[in-house]
Amino acid sequence: MELFDKKLASEIASLLLEIKAIQLQPEKPFTWASGWKSPIYCDNRISLSFPEVRTFIKKSLVKAIQANFPEVQSIAGVATAGIPQGALIADQMELPFLYVRSKPKGHGMENMIEGKVTPGQKVVVVEDLVSTGGSSLKAVKDLKAAGFEVLGMVSIFTYGFDIATLNFQNAGVKLICLSDYSSMLPQALGDDYIDDLTLASLVEWRKDPSAWKGVRAR
């Protein structure tokens, strides 16, 4: 798991904060499906409603793919949030596009993968957000099972959890991200979204999300 460009990581974080794709609420934490209390909620689908941001992210992901996976032959989005990002990238690069469902379609062909399946084709997977990497790597597994050669994955943002790094290492999948939690924190502080006390709490959450209890309102 690595950042494509450190300067770009700060720029992307600033944009995501500005359009409220990233929201920080340490005093009123969000609850994730896992039950974790989280001071951050990241919904990069919001970027699709901002043409300038959407285009900047698209072009940045294209550059990341061209630099790291130049032999790419097709683009695969992970349902659901990776679908629009992947389609935008495939259109820009003039490459075939397909997407991977979280489970087989319940009727008709009962497809897991939507689009033309071409065994041996070299594909790059697109995600909007990586947390633990579970759903992302499941998509990789499904693509490989269908005969694709998965070159790697790109994502807009990652929380940078150690478990995600370990999961991608164990799966042998290269992940390139435009921005991450560590890049976002100083940007949020510099842009006055948080203060020093809040920053300390956000750093603590990143160290041990399952044990983090939030901060009291001042």
In the block, tokens 């991608």 appear at: 168
In the block, tokens 């957000």 appear at: 129
Q: Is 11 annotated as a binding residue?
A: no
Q: Is 108 annotated as a binding residue?
A: no
Q: Helices 51-68 and 6-18: crossing angle, nearest 10°? A: 160
DSSP code for 49: G
Q: Is 201 annotated as a binding residue?
A: no
Q: Is 101 annotated as a binding residue?
A: yes
Q: Is 129 annotated as a binding residue?
A: yes
CB 51 within 8 A of CB 75: no
Two tokens, residue 128: 């909007």
Q: Is 107 annotated as a binding residue?
A: yes
DSSP code for 94: T
Q: Is 135 annotated as a binding residue?
A: yes
Q: Is 127 annotated as a binding residue?
A: yes
DSSP H helical ranges for the chain: 6-18, 51-68, 82-93, 134-145, 162-171, 181-190, 196-207
Q: Residues forming the annotated binding site for orotate?
A: 131
Q: Residues forming the annotated binding site for 5-phospho-alpha-D-ribose 1-diphosphate?
A: 101, 105, 107, 127-135
Q: Residues forming the annotated binding site?
A: 101, 105, 107, 127-135
